[in-house]
Each structure stands twice: as C-alpha cells, then as structure tokens.
Amino acid sequence: MIILTKEDMQKVFSMEEAIEADKEALRLFSEGKSTVPLRTNIDVPEYEGQSLYMPAYVSGSQSALGVKIVSVYPNNIDKNLPSVPATMVVLNSKTGIVEAVMDGTYLTQLRTGAVQGAATDVLARKDAKVAALFGTGGQAITQLEAMLTVRQLEEVRIFDIDKGRCQKFVEEMSEEFAAFGTKMIAATSAEEAVAGADIITSATTSKRATFDGKFVEEGTHINGVGAYTPEMHEIPADIIVKADKVIFDTTEGVLAEAGDIITPLEEGLVERSHYQGDLGEVMLGKIAGRATDAEITVFKTVGTAVLDVVTAEKILQKAKKFGVGTTINM
C-alpha cells in the first residue's frame, strides 16, 4: 500500500492532467459507466462532528474504485487541527485490496479546480483574455490555476470581502503563477471584477449573489463552484435566467444541493428545460455547448465521487511509475 502526501501528488500530477482526468470522469459518468451510491453521513454529537463517506466505482479501460472520507469537526480549530480533514482510499478494482491512501483535502481542491477548468475549456470563448475570481479560500488557488491553464489570460481580477486577505492572495499568486505572465489585480468591488470579464468563477459559500448580473456582458462564461447547499446562492438569479446554456457536473447532484440553481426553478423564473444537462453530455455531443461567441454560458458543480476516484487512480498510477510515495507492507 502506498501513502501519498500532498507534496507527493504535486510531484507527479499537474493541473493539466487533472483537467483531462475530470473530463474523462464526466464522460464515463454520462455514458453510464459509474456507480455512485449516496454518501453516508454519520453524526458524532458528543464531539460536535460529522463523518462522511463518499464511494464510487467507474468501469472502463482503466477502472477506478475508492472512497473519500471527509470529516467536519468545527472545534478542531481550537486544537490547531484542520476542521474538514479528508482522506482518499484507493482500492484495486480487480481484487478489492486497498492500494493507496492519499491526502483527500488536496485531492478535493485539485479535482474541483480541474472540473471548473474542464468546463471553462469546453464552454468559454476561445479568445477569452480577462477573468474574475470571487473568493480567496481553500479552493481559490486551484480555481485560479485551472483558468490560467485552459486560456491565455492577460488579466485576472480577484475579489474577496476581506480586502487584506485578497491583497495578500494576489501578491502570493502573482509570484506562484508568474510563468503564465498574467496580471493579477485585487479588485476593490465586485463590479470592478466583473465588468468586461470573459470568464467569472465564484468559489464561495455565500448565501447571496457574489456579483450583480447587470454587469455581465454577452459572451461571458460563468462558473459556480462554492455554493453546495439549498441556502447558498452565489450566482445571481437573473444570470441563470438570462444564460443561453446552463450546464452541470451532474444534474442529480446540482438539483438536490445548489440553491442558486434550485431557487430560480422553485420560484418559476425558469422551466426545467432551461437546464440543458451535464458537461459529460456536451463532450460526448449529446447536448449542445456554446454555439456563438455572444452566448452566456453557466457551469455549476457540487462535486461527485466519480471525479475523486478517477483522479486518484491516475495519480496512483503516476506515483507508481515514478516511485513516489511511502510503501507500507500490510
């Protein structure tokens, strides 16, 4: 069994590879080649915690089997421990034997950034030059890297309600991603971030829209990444209504969890037919993606274990190839 840390994973697997892994995962999902049971949530009331188990199996030329374990323990902060620790367990699909245990927190950040990158690559205009990023939390780095990877961006405007944190993030990312040659700007307002942006990515848990839809121009592609409960609404309802294409990672997951998609439907602002389907279906040619440079496209993701198991399996194979990680004999 191989133990893979975040550093091990970064050594062998790039964002570009993660984007391709997520594309493959969503295509396999849309082809019906995956089994994804509902996640199991175990309440641990005496410690004010929860433990969640997210299994999946994907068949195909390179099958993948595994389970991600995510715990939510808010009081861990007082113990100087992560409040949402995660671990990925990868099993050999042919034998059922555990082959690897890896950093699930980093895996989640990587595959979530990559699925946005996949959607941006498929749906955004090819000539997109300016992007906006809302939120500078744990997801922000990979969200930024994914946009930089799939488009030759001249400028990224970053906005966060915490101005100091935003400025620090911009300074760090300007150095981290200097090789892309993209100008990073700490936007002073949501309007400044959005006006004239070709790509907008919101990665927050906000219960209200992070920007005003009236500033969104024709041809913009929008990614909703952070909101994952019915109470969260980071994408403006008027943009959902106005959008020419609204695409999901998985329709079942988004319509069960994402408030910014559920609410316009419940309030009668859109019909169910306004939501076209899944990104995997776009890539397979089953439904249409962007048709013209003037269209506004929206992608919403709440995550799926299919992304975890496919990405984890590919990381494991690369780690084996290059001899990275710590091997334990069981």
As annotated, the active-site residues are: 68
DSSP 52: E
Q: Please calculate the CA angle 219-222-225 and round it to the nearest 5 degrees.
A: 170
- How many C-beta atoms surround the C-beta of residue 11 within 10 A? 14
d(CA 6, CA 113): 15
The Cβ-side half-sphere exposure at 209, using a 13 Å CA radius, reads 20
d(CA 294, CA 172): 34
Residues 246, 221: contact at Cβ < 8 Å? Answer: no
d(CA 251, CA 275): 9
- How many C-beta atoms surround the C-beta of residue 70 within 10 A? 19
DSSP 243: -
Residue 59 burial by CB count (10 A; 0-12/13-18/19+): exposed, middle or buried? middle
Helix (H) / strand (E) containing 308: helix 305-322
List the 130-134 sheet strands across, edge first.
Answer: 183-186, 155-159, 130-134, 199-202, 221-224, 297-300, 245-248, 277-278
Q: Which residue has the tokens 């609404």?
A: 233
d(CA 308, CA 325): 19
Q: Residue type for 148, please?
A: L
Closest C-alpha to 134, from 109, 105, 165? 165
